Amino acid sequence: MKKLFAIIAASVFSLSAIVTSNAVAQTSFAQAIPAPTIAAKSWLLLDSTSNQILASSEPDMRIEPASLVKLMTAYIAFSAIQEKRIGLAQMVTVSTNAWKVDAESSKMFIEPRVPVSVNDLLYGLIVQSGNDAAVALAEAIAGTEDAFAVLMNREAERMGMKSTRFANSHGLPSPNNYSTARDLSILATHLVNDHPEFYKIYATKDFTYNKIKQSNRNRLLWLDPSVDGMKTGHTQQAGYCLISTAKRPNGNHERRLISVVLGTTSDQSRSQESQKLLNWGFQNFDTVKLYSKDAAIATPNVWKGSQNSIKIGFTHDVYVTVPKGQGAKIKPVLARKDPLVAPIDKNSQVGTIKVMSADNKVIAELPVLALEQVAQAGLFGRALDSIRLWIH
C-alpha cells in the first residue's frame, strides 16, 4: 500500500520498555485525514508524546538501514557512559581496524594509535557520521565489533524491534544488517527518552576534528528550528534515508513527532519528504493529556482486603493524539475487572480505559493499574466478604 489514511495506530511498544511516559496498549481506527504523498519506499510518522503512529506506508518492509544503524551504536555508548563502563574523557587508542574501515565511506578521520576521547568519538559518530568512530566506540565498549554487534541485537530484542538485525556498528552493507521503519521509530523513541542528556548532540550542526570541519548531513537542522535531530543514511541499495524529529508547542505542553523516511532518491528529497511529513502531523493533529502520573482516576471497592478501596490509574502521564479540534469530544470509558479481590499487587492491571471518539470509535485502549498494594484481610474479614460477594 503506497498510501494510507492517517491512523491512530496500535502502539508497538511493550509495557516493560522505557520507551515513553505515555499510552501503551492501543487499538486503531481510520481518520478521514488523507496522509500526504511521500516519495519514499517506506515511511512512518510517530507522535512520540502519545506513542501513536499517525500515518505510514510499508512500515514493516525490510530495508537496509545504512548509517541509521549508528543510532543503536550511540544508544549503547550512551548507556555505557551512564553505567560508568566508559567515560566521556576516556582516551581510546584507535585500532588499524577502525582506521581502515571503507576508505570511500564517511569518516571523522581519526588516526591509528593516536588516542581520541570518547566525547570526540560521539560527536564524530553523530555529527560527521564517521564509520571509523563507530568501530572505535564498538571496540572500546565490547573489545571487538563482533562482540558489539551481539550487544546491539540484544538491545534491539529488549526494545521490541522484532524485524531488525545488526551485523556491524556503522551500517555499511551486510546481509545481516536490516530493519524496518516501525522498528527504527522504536529505536529513535528510546534514544530521545532514555538519554535526553546526550540526545542534544544530534542538534549539533558541525564538528571539527583533526582540523577537518564537517557539517551534519541532516539539512532540516538549518531549515526548521523545531527540528533537533536525528540521523541520515545512504547506500546504493538503501537509497537516501532520514529519521528526523521535531518538538513544537501543543497547548500547555510540547509535542514531539518522529518521522522515518526510507529509500528516497536524493539528499534533497529525503529532507523535503521528511519536512512535509512533520508539517502535516503538526498541522492536522492535537495531542491531549488525559491523565497524570499516579493520579487516581477511581477508587473502587476491594473485597477480602486489608482496606475497603484501592486507588487505580496510570504510572505515567497519558496522552492521546486526535484530529485537530476533536480533543474536547473524546470520551474515556472505564471497564474494571470486578470484583476486585485481594491480594492485589501494586502496578497489576485492574481494568481498561477505552478512549472513544465522538462517533463512538475506539481511539486508544489503555491498561489501568493498581496504584497501591492491598493485602488480604484476616480470616474473619475474608469470610464476611465471601458472604457479601455471594449475596452481591
Active site members = 67, 70, 129
CA distances 374 to 20, 307, 314, 349, Å, are: 27, 7, 17, 13
* CA angle in degrees (0–180, nearest 5) for 263-268-274: 65
Q: Which residue has the cell 471518539?
A: 357
Q: Residue 201 and residue 71: Cα distance in Å, rounded?
A: 12
Q: Do the Cβ atoms of 179 and 159 come closer than 8 Å? A: no
Instruction: Please state, in angstroms and rounded to a whole number, the distance separating the CA atoms of residues 378 and 125.
Output: 61
Cα 210 to the center of its chain, rounded Å: 34
Q: Under a CB-based contact definition with an 8 Å cutoff, are residues 162 and 187 in contact?
A: no
C-alpha distances (whole Å) from 356 to each of 25, 272, 320, 363, 366 are 14, 35, 11, 6, 12
| CA distances from residue 92 to 110, 120, 216, 311, 334 in whole angstroms, order as listed | 11, 10, 23, 52, 55
Cβ neighbourhood burial of 83 (10 Å; 0-12, 13-18, 19+): exposed
The number of angstroms, rounded, from the C-alpha of 176 to the middle of its chain's C-alpha atoms is 22
